Chains A and B, each alone.
Chain A
C-alpha cells in the first residue's frame, strides 16, 4: 500500500520551466505541490503517473498580494498554513482564513497548498467553498498565456476540473469585498482535525446603505454535491428583504431542497440534510450581523 509506482521526478526552478515540462509531458505527468492528496492517491494506486513535476518550491508561484482597495491575489503554491496565518488576508477575508484553519492538521496545512486544494477537486474540500462565496477567479497558465475563470467554472465534479494538458493553475484573484458586506464559513465533520467535512458552507451578504436590507447574498455549499453548489433559491428569498426568523427558516429549507447529499462512511444523507439546514440558518445570521457592523 505504501509503495509508489516508478516515476521520473522533475523539479523546475521557475514557472516557465514548469510550463515547458507540463506541455512536454502532457498527461503522463502529475503536478506535485504539497503532496498531501497526490502522494496518498499514488499510494492507493488510484493514479500511476509516469512523471512528477514538483512545483512546490517555485517562489514565483507562492505568496499573497493584498492590495488596499483592490482585493487580493493568492499564488497557487501558497500553503494553507500561510493563508491561515495571514493577518492582512484575515482582515478582508476572514471566511477564507478560517476555512484554511479548519483543513486537515497542522502538518497537512504546512504542506498543502491552496492551488492543490482546488486542483484535487474533492467535493468536500474546505477552500473552494469560501473562494466561491467571495467571487474568486482562478488564473490558469500555459506557454500560450493565461486564462481566467470563476472557481465554480473551474471545478467540474469529483476530481474533475478545467485544467487541460499543458496548463497549471497559477493563482487566485479575489475581488475587494464590497461595502456593507461580510462572508462567514462553517463546517461540520465527525471530529475537529483530520476529518473530511460532512458539510461545509459559506455565506456572503451585502447590505444596502440602510445596513438592514439585503442587497445581495451568495450561499455556497460543499460536500453536498459533486462540486461546490451555489444556491439559486436563497437570493430570491433574501434580496430586498430585512432578515427575520421566518426568512432564516426559509433559507435553511431552501438550502436543504437544493443540496444533493449522499450517504457514505462519514455521514448519512439524512444527517447531512439536517446539518445543511443548521449551517445555513447559522451562517446567514452570522454574516448578516457581521455585515451590519462592517
Chain B
C-alpha cells in the first residue's frame, strides 16, 4: 500500500515519516525514528511495555495507528531526561537508586505511566499509584521496589528536594 508522509511531534521534535495506515505507533517510533526505548511486548495492549505519553496521558503504542497521531504531542522515555545536559529525570534516577530495574524491559513504560500520573496528581496515594500502574507488567517481580522508587521520588519532590 502507498505510503504517505505524516508529521509526528515526538519529544518536542517534529519527525516526518512515511507510513501506511497499517503502521502502528510503536513500530514507527522504534524502526523509523529509531527511539528504541519504547518496547514492544505482547502487542495486545496487555503488558504496557509500549506505553508512551500522548497529549499528557499514558497510552499504548501497540494499539495506536501512527497515522492517527498527527497533531498530537508524544513523549517517549528518551524525552524525559534533561535535553541539554542529558541528565536523567529524577524519577529515572530514583528507579536506579532503588534497584527498581532488573531486566529493564518494563521500565520505560513504568516510568512513563508514573510520569503521566504525577503530571496531573503530584501527590498520589499508594492506591492511586497502583491504579495508574496496573497496566504495566513486570516479570522480574519488581513491583515493591518500583513502588518504593516512586514514593521516594514523590516525597523528595514534595519536600522540594528535586
Report the Cα distance A81→B46, complex, angstroms.
Answer: 17
Query: How many residues belonging to A are interface residues under a CB distance threshold of 8 Å?
Result: 32
Any A CB within 8 A of the CB of B113: yes
Report the Cα distance A9→B51, complex, angstroms.
Answer: 23
State which residues 5-64 of A face B: CB under 8 Å: 5-9, 11, 32, 35-36, 39-40, 43, 52, 54, 56-57
Hey, which chain B residues are within 8 Å of A39, CB to CB? 24, 45, 63-65
> Are B60 and A111 within 8 A (Cβ)?
yes
Q: Which of A11, A57, A194 has the most CB of B within 10 A?
A: A194
Report the Cα distance A35→B69, complex, angstroms.
Answer: 13
State which residues 47-69 of B face A: CB under 8 Å: 48, 51, 57-60, 62-65, 67-68
Tell me how many residue pairs across A and B have CB atoms closer than 8 Å.
Answer: 84
Any B CB within 8 A of the CB of A107: yes
> Are A40 and B45 within 8 A (Cβ)?
yes
> Are B46 and A9 within 8 A (Cβ)?
no
CB-nearest residue of chain A to B62: A2
Query: How many residues belonging to B are interface residues under a CB distance threshold of 8 Å?
Result: 29
> Are B68 and A36 within 8 A (Cβ)?
no
Contact of B113 among A40, A57, A107 (CB under 8 A): A107
> Are B48 and A107 within 8 A (Cβ)?
yes
> Are A106 and B21 within 8 A (Cβ)?
no
Hey, which chain A residues are within 8 Å of B21, CB to CB? 7-9, 52
A124 to chain B, nearest CB (A): 15
Hey, which chain A residues are within 8 Å of B133, CB to CB? 106
Any A CB within 8 A of the CB of B134: yes
> Are A106 and B45 within 8 A (Cβ)?
no
Report the Cα distance A52→B67, complex, angstroms.
Answer: 12
Hey, which chain B residues are within 8 Å of A54, CB to CB? 65, 68
Given contacts A3-B22, A106-B132, A107-B135, contact A9 B67 (CB under 8 A): yes
> Are B57 and A110 within 8 A (Cβ)?
yes
> Are B113 and A106 within 8 A (Cβ)?
yes
Hey, which chain A residues are within 8 Å of B59, CB to CB? 107, 110-111
B103 to chain A, nearest CB (A): 20
Any A CB within 8 A of the CB of B44: yes
Hey, which chain A residues are within 8 Å of B135, CB to CB? 104-108, 193-194
Report the Cα distance A8→B63, complex, angstroms.
Answer: 17
Contact of B64 among A2, A106, A111 (CB under 8 A): A111
Hey, which chain B residues are within 8 Å of A7, CB to CB? 21-22
A147 to chain B, nearest CB (A): 29
Contact of A56 among B24, B68, B131 (CB under 8 A): B68
Report the Cα distance A35→B24, complex, angstroms.
Answer: 11
Binary A-proximity of B120-153 (CB < 8 A = 1, otherwise 0): 0000000000011111100000000000000000
> Are B60 and A4 within 8 A (Cβ)?
no
Report the Cα distance A9→B19, complex, angstroms.
Answer: 12
Binary B-proximity of A113-126 (CB < 8 A = 1, otherwise 0): 00000000000000
Contact of B43 among A5, A43, A106 (CB under 8 A): A43
Hey, which chain B residues are within 8 Å of A257, CB to CB? none
B50 to chain A, nearest CB (A): 9
Given contacts A2-B24, A40-B44, A81-B57, contact A111 B63 (CB under 8 A): yes
Instruction: Mark A residues whose CB is within 8 Å of B.
Output: 1-9, 11, 32, 35-36, 39-40, 43, 52, 54, 56-57, 81, 101, 104-108, 110-111, 192-194
Between A and B, 21 residue pairs with Cβ closer than 8 Å are: A1-B43, A2-B43, A3-B22, A5-B22, A9-B68, A11-B68, A32-B65, A35-B68, A36-B60, A39-B63, A40-B63, A56-B68, A101-B131, A105-B134, A105-B136, A106-B117, A106-B134, A106-B135, A107-B60, A108-B45, A108-B60
Q: A36-B45, A107-B51 are in contact. List 8 more A-B contacts (CB 8 A).
A: A11-B68, A35-B64, A40-B44, A56-B68, A81-B57, A104-B135, A106-B135, A111-B60
